[in-house]
Structure 1
């Protein structure tokens, strides 16, 4: 499973989160595990479960940045499609060297098979 975005540690388990409301001292946890219905989560949409909890019950808030090493260089990455991962760069020289496609004025992207990259994360505290 590829992790990227805002996460919490709650009751020893990791969950994505949305709707952080420091004024109400609450946060909404998001899960894709049906078993979490037994832990007080409610069905929000197909295979999406949510639960609002107090910020006091959160053990840790953090942000996960997804990166890959590809042909000796590091790139930020996103979920791809059909067994690939999406790499991005704003460096035109690297993009040309590694055959990236220009996707915006200063943005280049390339879908790469998972087996061609080393995936790693950078984790930083999420400050309220």
Structure 2
């Protein structure tokens, strides 16, 4: 488990209040590799493979990891994504955020819900 997932799992999503979320969003916008002038935002929204295309999904995950490698805002970006997506149905998230593919973030959210003693059905 990488450090960003460990940190995300330590922070229950309900503890990311509105003020903290706004602060995280501003920090990511100021420091993120994806927000640098001249960067094409579409690079963080590649076409997502179907769930059955395991090789393509692994490639997407690798691209996500590489695109965000070395980004100073990576962990904060992941926390922001998880907080923003916490009420989305699983499978509705999109794009690369915090070095993770959408289905990886869904899995982190499922684990966070399970660790909080809340079933996936109750969390949805």
Name the TM-score class by shorter chain: under 0.3
State the TM-score, normalizing by the size of structure 2: 0.23
Rg comparison, structure with higher value? 1
Q: Compare relative contact order (CA 8 Å, sep 6+) and give the higher one, 1 or 2.
A: 2
Choose between structure 1 and 2: higher helix proportion: 2
Q: TM-score, normalised by structure 1?
A: 0.22
